[in-house]
Structure 1
Amino acid sequence: MDIITDIASTMLAQLQKPTLSFLIGGMLLAAMGSKFEIPQPVYKFVVILLLLKVGIGAGMSVRDANLAQLVVPAVGAAVVGIAIVLIGARTIARTRGISHMDGMATAGLFGAVSASTLAAGMAVLDSENIAYEGFIGALYPFMDVAALVTAIVLAKLAEARQGAAAVQGGTMTIGGARAGGPTVEGGLVRTILKDTVQSPAISALLLGLALGLFARPETVYASFYEPLFRGLLSILMLIMGMEAWQRLSEMKGVAHAYIAYGLLAPLVHGALGFGAGLIAHEVTGFSAGGTVLLAIMAASSSDISGPPTMRGALPKANPSAYVGTSTGLGTPVAILSIPLWMALADALIGF
């Protein structure tokens, strides 16, 4: 009975947080036929500011970290982020009735990291006086960016293949070569990767990372980006909520698949993160607390960098699918799984 109460209270808390509550508010406005709207130029400006803020903060965290100790867990975090997206590409993105674009956007959010879930994990460890590395916060951009870029590239690659097949009856030729040839495939991947990096969303994120790493943006970050962040995020969620309501009919008949993925994926992903932490422990002496937090990062799903990135890079994807599944289901499961990773770390490594 206690666990049911815990789950209910955790989900209620998620509903009250800005990410999901403003999303629901936007859906309610659309359901009532409201004429409320945010001009497109304002929306684009909000997205750029949000992603610049996320990138700058991540870059400053990496810059201030101990690079010698950071390398192995950072590589592990990036590999886990990519692996999560690849798993999603083979599961949710291939489920009958779910569009590949929606599935990849969902996988991308689950591969990326929730800063609030990571903070919750740190708070739990602090309350138990469990030590962990000070550079843990610098690990999340490695997993975050790797997952988002991988999901976007795979989604666009699949879309390009489908479009070419539809136009040419299933046979795409470029320079006399068939679409399945290695030269054409390589050229297509390079084109998609170039387009992804040059897209406004990823460009802003990468620019922020570079500024955080190589410049000294602390003053403008503290005085401008940080105070505006939550308010701008709420505006973005309103927009996405209204769009989600308009496209809610697309989820009829496949909601069960998103529910199953939202409940099970965080546990599988957390196990991958925990495994990467164990490898880092064996190689570098990475702490048990750090291993727990790496598992929490992998189990979490992005509620900050992910939604605006996906909205900007994959506008055809349905926000009600990827935001609802990740924030509404994935986040509560990730938070509730924290004791599991702590128990495993204590048993296998010891606090």
Structure 2
Amino acid sequence: MDLLFEILSTMLIQLQKPTLAFLIGGMLLAAMGSKFEVPDPVYKFIVILLLLKVGLGAGISVREADLVALAVPALAAALAGITIVLLGARTLARLRDVSHMDGMATAGLFGAVSASTLAAGIAVLDDGGIAYEGFIGALYPFMDIAALVTAIVLARMSADRKLARPVQGDGTAALTVGGTGGFGAPALDGKMIKGILVDTFRSPAISALVLGLAIGMFARPESVYSSFYEPLFRGLLSILMLVMGMEAWSRLSELRKVAHAYVLYGLTAPIIHGLIGFGLGLVAHQLTGFSAGGVVLLAVMAASSSDISGPPTMRAALPEANPSAYVGTSTGLGTPVAILSTPLFMALADVFIGL
């Protein structure tokens, strides 16, 4: 009972911190029909600045990091992304009232990472004075790309199987699929996977993050980082949280067009996915001394769902999927639930590791 009270107390305290308070405030503004808005170019500019800040900080830290200390969390991040997609393929994508393609697109977004959610998690830990590895931002692409590629490849393989047709020959039924081997087992299209990787790296989110990483690793941006990016971080993030809160509320209306299963998935999946990330983070902690703050942020990344790089990637790779299903579930429910679950992961880290 004392443990439960401790976790609830930690969560309540963290919900009062600026980052989460602005998110809730944005949802309240939208619920009341407020006309408040941030122009789209300003919103995009804020996102790019935040990602450059995260990338620069990660690159500066990677320059001095132990490769083993970085490699194990990076592997954990990739495993988290793949595991989340496989779990979605076994649950949401198999439900009777859910299109398999829509389910896989949704699972892909939930396996990928929300840059804004990661930035929010970093801010919450900073506000609490909780230490974490500076290279944490470098884990973003590992989870993001692993999840998107896995989801798209599985969705395409399933679509190819449905197009398979029996070939009449010597009386033995065989299955052939265009561009694949026999027995109905589609060969992976290397060109398709290469296209996914290229499109993902060209997306604004990944491009800004990788650019920041590269500059942080191979240049000396400490002066501009400390004088410009670091002081602006929390102020810009508060505006972003307001926008995301309002957008999350408006996206809820899109969920009326799709099955109720998406509502249940959007409410529960972030917690389950976050616990997967938390568990893998604990393994990294045991193997390399990965910090409690790092474990929390890995859980936050796993709980998040892509809001920038994922949707355009899915639209290009899986045009058959319904954006109302995967974007509405991700932005309308997944993102706010993931951000608001940050205190839960902090409380768990305090219990199992000690913050």
TM-score bracket, normalised by the shorter chain, equals 0.7 to 0.9
Q: 1:80–1:143: 8 Å Cα contact kept in structure 2?
A: no
CA separation of 1:8 and 1:339: change in aligned 2, threshold 3 A: closer
2:232 matched residue in structure 1: 228
Q: 2:110–2:306: 8 Å Cα contact kept in structure 1?
A: no
- Output the CA distance in 2 between the equivalents of 1:10 and 1:16: 10
Alpha-carbon offset, residue 62 of structure 1:
1.2
Within a 5 Å distance, the mapping from 1:1-351 to structure 2 comes to 1-65=1-65, 70-92=66-88, 94-95=91-92, 96=95, 99-109=103-113, 114-115=121-122, 123=130, 137-155=133-151, 170=163, 177=179, 181-182=186-187, 185-249=189-253, 250=255, 252-280=260-288, 287=289, 290=290, 295-301=295-301, 316=323, 317=327, 318-329=330-341, 331-342=342-353
Counterpart code for 2:22: F
Q: 1:24–1:241: 8 Å Cα contact kept in structure 2?
A: yes
Greater mean alpha carbon deviation, residues 49-58 or residues 2-11? 2-11
Q: 1:77–1:139: 8 Å Cα contact kept in structure 2?
A: no
- Output the CA distance in 1 between the equivalents of 2:205 and 2:126: 25
Q: Secondary structure at the match of 2:335?
A: helix
Q: What count of residue pairs does the alignment treat as equivalent?
A: 313
CA separation of 1:305 and 1:261: change in aligned 2, threshold 3 A: closer
- Output the CA distance in 2 between the equivalents of 1:234 and 1:155: 32
CA separation of 1:270 and 1:212: change in aligned 2, threshold 3 A: same
Q: 1:273–1:294: 8 Å Cα contact kept in structure 2?
A: yes
CA separation of 1:156 and 1:37: change in aligned 2, threshold 3 A: farther
Alpha-carbon offset, residue 89 of structure 1:
0.5
Q: 2:84–2:147: 8 Å Cα contact kept in structure 1?
A: no
Alpha-carbon offset, residue 53 of structure 1:
0.8
Alpha-carbon offset, residue 189 of structure 1:
0.6
Greater mean alpha carbon deviation, residues 20-29 or residues 91-100? 91-100
Q: 2:200–2:309: 8 Å Cα contact kept in structure 1?
A: no
Alpha-carbon offset, residue 110 of structure 1:
8.8
Q: 1:57–1:212: 8 Å Cα contact kept in structure 2?
A: yes
Counterpart code for 1:7: I
Counterpart code for 2:221: P
TM-score by length of 1: 0.73
CA separation of 1:242 and 1:154: change in aligned 2, threshold 3 A: farther
Alpha-carbon offset, residue 308 of structure 1:
5.5
1:348 matched residue in structure 2: none
Alpha-carbon offset, residue 296 of structure 1:
4.1
Q: 2:270–2:302: 8 Å Cα contact kept in structure 1?
A: no
CA RMSD, Structure 1 to Structure 2 (Å): 3.8
Q: 1:92–1:258: 8 Å Cα contact kept in structure 2?
A: no
- Output the CA distance in 1 between the equivalents of 2:311 and 2:17: 20
Alpha-carbon offset, residue 7 of structure 1:
3.2
- Output the CA distance in 2 between the equivalents of 1:279 and 1:59: 23
Q: Secondary structure at the match of 1:177?
A: coil
- Output the CA distance in 2 between the equivalents of 1:61 and 1:137: 8
Greater mean alpha carbon deviation, residues 334-343 or residues 317-326? 334-343
- Output the CA distance in 2 between the equivalents of 1:260 and 1:89: 15
Q: 1:56–1:208: 8 Å Cα contact kept in structure 2?
A: yes
Q: 1:55–1:206: 8 Å Cα contact kept in structure 2?
A: yes
Unaligned runs of 5+ in 1: 125-135, 281-286, 344-351
CA displacement, residues 59-91 of structure 1 (integer Å, 9 cap, x when unaligned): 1111133xxxx1222111111001111111022
Q: Secondary structure at the match of 1:337?
A: helix
CA displacement, residues 20-52 of structure 1 (integer Å, 9 cap, x when unaligned): 322222222222222222222222211111111
Alpha-carbon offset, residue 216 of structure 1:
1.2
Alpha-carbon offset, residue 311 of structure 1:
7.2
CA separation of 1:142 and 1:192: change in aligned 2, threshold 3 A: same
- Output the CA distance in 1 between the equivalents of 2:153 and 2:244: 24
User: What is the identity percentage for the equivalent residue pairs of Structure 1 and Structure 2?
Assistant: 38
Q: 1:201–1:312: 8 Å Cα contact kept in structure 2?
A: no
- Output the CA distance in 2 between the equivalents of 1:303 and 1:257: 12
CA displacement, residues 135-158 of structure 1 (integer Å, 9 cap, x when unaligned): x61442343331123234445556
